[in-house]
Structure 1
Amino acid sequence: MIVIPVGLGDHILTYCIILEYEKGGFVRTKSIDLLDLTPETNPDELVAEIGQSEPLITESRSDQVKQLILRLQQKQGQQDHHRFCFSKELKAHILPLTNVAFDKSGSRFITGSYDRTCRVWDTASGTELHTLEGHRNVVYAIAFNNPYGDKIATGSFDKTSKLWCAETGKCFHTFRGHMAEIVCLAFNPQSTLVATGSMDTTAKLWDVETGEEVATLTGHAAEVLSLCFNTVGSQLVTGSFDHTVAIWDVASGRRVHILMGHTGEISNVQFNWDCSLIVTGSMDKTCKLWEAVSGKCVASLVGHKEEVLDVCFDLSGQLIATASADGTARVFSATTHQCLVTLKGHDGEISKICFNPQGSRLLTASSDKTARVWDVQSGVCLQVLEGHTDEIFSCAFNYEGEIIITGSKDNTCRIWH
């Protein structure tokens, strides 16, 4: 077993220790997220707490874990002045890309494309590791089964989803049953299920091991455009073009709540880390915050002058970021619901926004052919990432927050270190 620290950076809100161990002749990984780690945390108490809940941390490993925690605490006090430099451009596909996604460690990433393939890349060298071929139409939705990173799911306009081995590129299963294009998908945190959302108005749950359909989630009156599992995997939330959001009980496949109140199509849905809140973005120019248990709307986040195209929580669940067709992004408090800063500078709509794992930076992708890095506290633009020749529609940080990938309609993706 090797203990690896992941997630170093400035005043970090979350860390992760990756455990590598052998089981059944295969090397497997398991992650322990240290959500409450601060410079004031007592390392001995934290090691004891981890040891109680994680049998892999034996007494002989305790000192190693303590040293890691001390290093992470030391890192927390350091300021982040990291600037991202253009590293390499990958002419990834012969037709436009649809999405990019990292594995949890950030050592590999995947790209989906209109050329009907998904490609697996090595982040450090920029070399292509595998081409996942077999879909008969656009590969639109893609995901690693993080934190494990040994499987990839792809969803296509050919109405099927496929499950692949990330190590070999072999196709394990083809999930058939949707009657229209698949436009979103996600693994549950345990990596035992894949959820797919389709233009046929349904979402489906599939068994990773057997490839069988577990449940069809019916009730939406229009396309299911986004979905998200909560962090324990007990609930799934779906957002639809019918202006509603649904919360589903994963074990039974039963709809628990319908969240009504938006007057436009739902662009994105997300749970916060502790599963207590759901945020929704809509074409009605607003975001709404909902209690996951009751389904009650607790706030409407307003201020954008055009459609909200993307929305996300930071990892602590304290902040919400919104991206809009009005060319601005905003940061809201999840507790007071106030707008804390407005990010201005893009010359076109912002289609994607994400926090770095530390919660100190935001990354935006725009139709103005640039991505921008922002300081969350001040709203100041720290960097403009230029070089793409067409709109950027996808962007992501790796887990440590020191590598960025941008995907563009110019058929390339760029790596920034």
Structure 2
Amino acid sequence: MVKTYLRYEPAASFGVITSFDSKIAYDSTGKHVLAPALEKVGIWHVRQGICSKTLVPSSSRSGPSLAVTCIASSSSTLNRAQKVAVGYADGSIRIWDCEKGTCETNLNGHKGAVTALRYNKLGSMVASGGKDNDVILWDVVGETGLFRFRGHRDQITDLVFLDSGKKLVTSSKDKFVRVWDLETQHCMQILSGHHSEVWSVDVDPEERFLVTGSADRELRFYAVKQDMSHGSLVSDSNANGLDASGDHSTENKWEVLKPFGEIQRQTKDRVASVRYNHSGSLLACQMEGKTVEIYQVLNEAEGKRKSKRRLRRKEKKSSKDGDENIAGDGDASNEIEKADSVIAPTAPDLFKLLQVIRAGRKISSFSLCPITPRDSLATLALSLINNSLEFYTLKGSENEKTATIEHQGHRSDVRSVALSDDNTLLLSTSHNEVKIWNPSIGVCLRTIDSGYGICSMIVPKNRYGIVGTRSGVLEIIDIGSATKVEEIKAHGGTIWSIASIPDDSGFVTVSADHEVKFWEYQIKKEPGQVFYVDSLKFYLSLYGHQLPVMAIDISSDGDLIVTGSQDKNLKIWGLDFGDCHKSIFAHDDSIMGVKFVRNTHYLFSIGKDRLVKYWDADKFELLLTLGGHHAPIWGLAVSNRGDFLVTGSHDRSMRRWDRTEEPFFPEEEKEKRLEELFESEIDNNAVENRYQEEIPEEGVAGLAKNTTVDVLSAADSIIEALELAENEKKRVAEHEEEKTRGNVPALLPNAMMLGLSPSEFVLKTISKEKTNDLEQILLPLPFSDALRLLSYMENWSLIPEKVELVCRIATIVLQTHHNQLVTTPSARPILSVLRDVLHAKVKESKDTIGFNLAAMDHVKQMMASRSDAPFRDAKAKLMEIRSQQAKRMEARLDTKQERKRKKKQKRLEDGGHGHAWV
């Protein structure tokens, strides 16, 4: 009988605030920051400092291929729902609804990691660039790719829309900046003045000046021409009195960007990103190091004054050179006269260095808040490589750090993890701190300063933790008070491992000083002490590994011992004679940890190949391979009941894997691994062939979508549905023919078609697929199946909600098989019917939509008028109340004055009768 096992699946990951190789972004409200965290995106509330929501892709794939590489937030105010486009390392793009936390669209087009993303102003389109050197334009509303631009010879680094979304500017590591016309789908201008890779590009909100940043010391600026439609090009610099080049005789009417000048940066590090703020008054330039330079964008009048001062200083300087430079003085005077008539400021005149922000660690990315706070210029969020977020407020020439988010993660890689006996606490170590976690919800409870912890454990009763450090010191941590109780110099080298003695009376340490030491717990009133167990004697030596042993564990029954080594082998030994039962090539890199599941001979192993593997030590069989980490795995902890395990990695994340009730067979898992290996080899070959293709000199456009395994399987399902429908038609026809000959039993429904008619069954099958994948799904269809598909569309067009789908399918099929359809006489009747039916149905749908839009506008106007009426009534009532109050106040005042007058008169009368007043 085949033995079954219970499956382990990923349950949670925690410990990562922000990835060090991806970009952060503010949302449109300015209250939250979207921070990529490996394959997730955390939505952090800036004021509260908590992660309010997490965007996690639901995919069977995991690991580095699904890591977030870039992110773009829509700034459109047309849609209240906050949309976010997220690019991944596998080339896919997902559009998320931040309020619901759901993925609305999955776009597949790139054959390499997505490196650049940008929304247009309306939020209806997204442009993406990738490591495959391609630029793709996506229709977010239609959930499909429009076209692909090819022309760059290296990775796309950044892109930005121009001319209200009609133009697109892209930068690349090939040192070129290209301007693409989205209407004609071609490259209309190439900027080739950069001497090194261009890393970022941006344009101000008014689209006056475009800036590029590269590895050299200059920021280059370009004046953007306005009214760029069909030759009526008017330079924005000329319109504002700004001379971009000084030579208009050879002006190219198709030239969109004209050089405007350069400014010297303060630091030598290369530019990582340049961005304008929401109002366009500031320009932030992030360097590859620890600094961000903030430039103030001056207005036209200030730029002219600064330019005039610059020319006057030049005149004074030239006048000091003596009589030999009289001609030069005349030239300078001419320049001043020219400046008085037409001021021509350059980039240094309009962009002024305001301040430099210096962070404590290297900066990964930054984002400017779209909302400008009171009494300040802007708010800036920084993502640092030490897994933290910092927030700065810019005030004039100074800046202030207002907040930091760093509690929920280590500053460096997680070196070890340890679980308590009751599995309620998790201890993790890093280079300078120890953190205590709740493993069920992934929340950090305590943080304690410590040395470089390499290994750790929690002693029984969950009161203390023990950490073995790189310096050979044992640190005793009080978990309750979050303090370090004692430090003991235990070894002369790094302590590599700590293991508890089975009777919980002590523990064992293994060190780089070639010593194994046994320690026993002892509690005294004076400071706690530990001492050696001296009643031990040598038992066995286990020889066999070619390289140092990195991990060791003994089964709970004492029968087996397992060792993992740098030679990538896992060895299972018997403790009775010390013989090696089996040597297994387990991982593709060094094995860093092994653990038995208590009361079983099942074990887990981790390695630098980023994988967790589940083994049966009795059958020497691999049961499961768990992938998810993005870097080498250092630590492993298994719960006492074996219901979950926790791993810690160099990617600073900790992941929990839960045992489920789903059984599995090792043979099936082996087949799945072979299929995944085969598919990965096919994908790698396809990518290699793609990069070997010769890219033309000038930019060209191509198809946007990318064929994937899911798309091919969807095409197969549609072909199978068409075959089933055709067979059902034949069966019905044969039954009708038999009915004419005599009495026959009633025709039973086809269970394979779920009791549907052939037309309904094919429609249901094709409606399951995503609309953005239809083009790639229908491309592999043979011509005969395409004809069958067209024959069903007359019936489908009668369904109002399916008219748009029918039109899209018909358009794709006609474009794909146009030549064959034209030369096939049997296709003409179908095309004639579709021509008449689809035109009428589309016109009917357009009329319905137009009627609905007009009705909605009318309702909107009625609601607006009604909503204004109460305010007008309230205002009139308020004015009436105020007038009445004023009248009452006047009456009261008159009454009061009258009383005073009468009282005064009475006093005078009393005084006249001889009364004395004191």
TM category, shorter = 0.5 to 0.7
Measure how far apart 1:341 and its partner are: 3.1
Q: Secondary structure at the match of 2:24?
A: strand
Which protein is richer in strand relative to its size? 1
User: Does residue 146 of structure 1 match 2:80?
Assistant: no
Residues 143, 185 of structure 1: 8 Å contact kept: yes
What per-residue deviation string (whole Å, max 9, x for no partner) do you get for residues 122-161 of structure 1? 6666432653333652122223333334433221111111
User: Does residue 112 of structure 1 match 2:36?
Assistant: yes
Q: Secondary structure at the match of 2:165?
A: coil
Aligned counterparts of 1:250 and 1:377: Cα–Cα separation in 2: 40
Q: Secondary structure at the match of 1:246?
A: strand
Residues 18, 35 of structure 2: 8 Å contact kept: no
What per-residue deviation string (whole Å, max 9, x for no partner) do you get for residues 22-59 of structure 1? xxxxxxxxxxxxxxxxxxxxxxxxxxxxxxxxxxxxxx
Aligned counterparts of 2:124 and 2:200: Cα–Cα separation in 1: 23
The equivalent residue for 2:258 is 296
Aligned counterparts of 1:332 and 1:196: Cα–Cα separation in 2: 28
Measure how far apart 1:183 and its partner are: 1.5
| Counterpart pick for 1:382 among 375, 400, 413 | 400
Residues 113, 140 of structure 1: 8 Å contact kept: no
Measure how far apart 1:279 and its partner are: 1.1
Aligned partner letter, 1:314: N
Q: Secondary structure at the match of 2:164?
A: coil
Q: 1:376 to 1:246 in 2, by over 3 A?
A: farther
The equivalent residue for 1:225 is 157
Measure how far apart 1:307 and its partner are: 1.0
Residues 286, 307 of structure 1: 8 Å contact kept: no
| Counterpart pick for 1:127 among 44, 52, 58 | 52
Measure how far apart 1:222 and its partner are: 0.6
Structure 1: give runs of 5+ residues left out of the alignment: 1-89, 392-408, 413-417
Q: Secondary structure at the match of 1:232?
A: helix
Aligned pairs for 1:57-206 within 5 A: 93=16, 96=19, 98-106=22-30, 109-114=33-38, 116-120=39-43, 126-128=51-53, 130-134=55-59, 136=62, 137-147=66-76, 148=79, 149-206=81-138
Aligned pairs for 1:12-91 within 5 A: none
Aligned counterparts of 2:118 and 2:162: Cα–Cα separation in 1: 11
Aligned counterparts of 1:105 and 1:360: Cα–Cα separation in 2: 17
Aligned counterparts of 2:133 and 2:399: Cα–Cα separation in 1: 39
Aligned partner letter, 2:390: A
Residues 154, 161 of structure 1: 8 Å contact kept: yes
Q: Secondary structure at the match of 2:168?
A: strand
Aligned counterparts of 1:343 and 1:109: Cα–Cα separation in 2: 22
Measure how far apart 1:296 and its partner are: 1.4
What per-residue deviation string (whole Å, max 9, x for no partner) do you get for residues 307-360 of structure 1? 122222233334322222454433335451454334264455444445444371
Measure how far apart 1:107 and its partner are: 5.0
Residues 24, 365 of structure 2: 8 Å contact kept: no
Q: Secondary structure at the match of 1:317?
A: coil
Aligned partner letter, 2:396: Q
Aligned counterparts of 1:189 and 1:361: Cα–Cα separation in 2: 21
Moved more, 241-250 or 216-225: 241-250
Q: 1:231 to 1:354 in 2, by over 3 A?
A: farther
User: Does residue 340 of structure 1 match 2:353?
Assistant: yes
Residues 18, 389 of structure 2: 8 Å contact kept: no
Q: Secondary structure at the match of 1:292?
A: strand
Aligned counterparts of 2:183 and 2:269: Cα–Cα separation in 1: 38
Residues 278, 289 of structure 1: 8 Å contact kept: yes
Which protein is bigger by CA-based radius of gyration?
Answer: 2
| Counterpart pick for 1:248 among 180, 191, 197 | 180
The equivalent residue for 1:216 is 148
Aligned counterparts of 1:127 and 1:372: Cα–Cα separation in 2: 18
The equivalent residue for 1:360 is 377
Aligned counterparts of 2:18 and 2:128: Cα–Cα separation in 1: 24
Aligned counterparts of 1:111 and 1:348: Cα–Cα separation in 2: 17
Which protein is richer in helix relative to its size? 2
The equivalent residue for 1:371 is 390
What per-residue deviation string (whole Å, max 9, x for no partner) do you get for residues 37-87 of structure 1? xxxxxxxxxxxxxxxxxxxxxxxxxxxxxxxxxxxxxxxxxxxxxxxxxxx
User: Does residue 308 of structure 1 match 2:280?
Assistant: no
Aligned counterparts of 1:289 and 1:117: Cα–Cα separation in 2: 36
Aligned counterparts of 2:168 and 2:281: Cα–Cα separation in 1: 21
Identity of counterpart residues, as a percentage? 22
Q: What TM-score results when the alignment is normalised by the length of structure 1?
A: 0.63
The equivalent residue for 2:282 is 319
Q: What TM-score results when the alignment is normalised by the length of structure 2?
A: 0.30
Moved more, 361-370 or 339-348: 361-370
User: Does residue 272 of structure 1 match 2:234?
Assistant: no
Q: Secondary structure at the match of 1:340?
A: strand
Measure how far apart 1:411 and its partner are: 6.1
The equivalent residue for 1:26 is none
Aligned counterparts of 2:171 and 2:224: Cα–Cα separation in 1: 14
Aligned counterparts of 1:120 and 1:384: Cα–Cα separation in 2: 19
Aligned counterparts of 2:288 and 2:268: Cα–Cα separation in 1: 8
Q: 1:306 to 1:202 in 2, by over 3 A?
A: same
Measure how far apart 1:201 and its partner are: 0.8
